[in-house]
Amino acid sequence: MKFGLVAGEASGDVLGAGLIRALRGRVPDAEFEGVAGPAMVAAGCNQWEPAESLAVMGLIEPLRHVPRLLRLRRELARRWIESPPDVFIGIDAPDFNFGLEKKLRRAGIKTAHYVSPTIWAWRAGRIKTVKKAADLVLCLLPFEPPLYEQHGVHAVFVGHPKAHEAPDTMDVDAARASLGLAAEEVVAVMPGSRMGEVQRLGGILADAAARVAAERPGVRFVTPLASARLRPVFERQLAEAGIGERCTVVDDQAQLVMTAADVVLQASGTAVLEAAMLRKPAVAAYRVAPLTYFLARYLFRLNLEHYTLPNLLTEEPLVPEFMQYEAQPGPIADAVLGLLDDPARRRSISERFDKLRRELALDADERAAAAVLELALR
């Protein structure tokens, strides 16, 4: 049995690797090929193209990459139509994968899309595209399948990998010792995993951290960076904010860093849900290019009461959110200080996040593999 996969970015690589391992556990001689990251390659995928080649963000910023991405999509379609997989699985990267899925499905190849696009937040009309592209949608959030079923799209809630991966208990002292942190209070500062995110948001978070440090001289900061090339950029931002010596910067180790923290100050994204699964109170901020924000807000009608997944899933404002022009150092610092000053509030948030973790922890890898195999054998 053969499976084609296309993953975009590090998060898709992790999902793809888990799916490959679960499928191989059920079909030991299965073959896997496509656009893959290092985790998928380690799990046994034949890499035709690295996943990072799809890692472009925003609405306007990716335009210069369009010719290259279109060529890649045509080549992938040609190869798989000539030698069809039993199922093609597009993992996230909807703007790239939906077009590929439609071509493959028209050629008679069964298709699955892993990670629903945020049709519940903006561009709801994309559900028509999904219906044309995918025989199956694997959803990470429990409220998504009913939206698809209303439109005749087969969708399955598989659970969220971040919930399944989160430990039942955490040793904060051990995490701090491992990172060399002796402070009584620790704040994790996570400016994002992409260069554009760090360039736009890193300085703001560093300035916010400096304001927190001025109010609480004993606090220590620690930052995990997903890529070595981000380090000089963020270390310069820390130095400009005057807290370079107060912040420990480490390569990756995001889960260890968040485990060590009392509060997590971070870029809005998947990492906010990861912090919630670790039962950590958080403050989230985000900025995109001004034109991207304008198009999302007004042309594509982005209209959410909450932006972060923990708030959306609990329908409570547990994570203070500072989006776009609201992302200013002063209010962000005040939100962090408010959490540090209120241990009872932090405990209450942690308890609610633990309940959410149990609701989402369904072993997504195995459930996704079961659904994909069911599609293959249909």
Which tens digits make up the pLDDT trace of 281-326? Answer: 999 998 766 666 655 555 444 556 677 889 988 888 899 999 878 8
Separation of alpha carbons 349 and 79, rounded Å: 49
pLDDT of 276 higher than 90? yes
pTM (2 d.p.) = 0.79
- pLDDT for residue 56: 57
**Residues near 287 by beta carbon (within 8 Å), at least 6 away in sequence:** 200, 201, 204, 293, 323, 324, 327
**Tens of pLDDT along 157-204?**
999 988 988 898 999 999 999 999 988 899 999 998 888 889 999 999
CB 310 within 8 A of CB 357: no
For the stretch 96-139, pLDDT in tens is 999 999 999 999 999 999 999 877 655 666 788 899 999 999 99
| Average per-residue pLDDT for the chain | 90
Residue 207 CA to residue 243 CA, distance in Å, equals 9
CB 139 within 8 A of CB 164: no
Choice among 9-13, 265-269, 276-280 with the minimum mean pLDDT: 9-13
Q: How far apart are CA 355 and CA 348, in angstroms?
A: 11
What's residue 57's pLDDT?
A: 47
Q: What percent of the chain has pLDDT over 70?
A: 90
Instruction: Tell me what the mean pLDDT of segment 348-375 comes to.
Output: 95
Structural domains of the chain, ranges and CATH numbers in brackets: 2-159+362-377 (3.40.50.2000), 172-360 (3.40.50.2000)
Crossing angle of the two packed helices 126-133 and 94-106, in degrees rounded to 10: 40
Say if residue 4's pLDDT is above 60.
yes
* Residues 74/49, Cβ–Cβ less than 8 Å: no
> What is the secondary structure of 314-370 as a DSSP string?
HTS--S-EEEGGG--HHHHHHHHHHHHT-HHHHHHHHHHHHHHHHHH-S-HHHHHHH
pLDDT number for residue 60: 45
pLDDT at 375 over 80: yes
126-144 residues labelled b (16+ CB within 10 A) or e (exposed): bbebbeebbbbbbbbbeeb
CB atoms within 10 A of CB 151: 12
The pLDDT of residue 294:
56
Write the single-letter amino acid at 307: Y
Please give the pLDDT value at position 291: 62
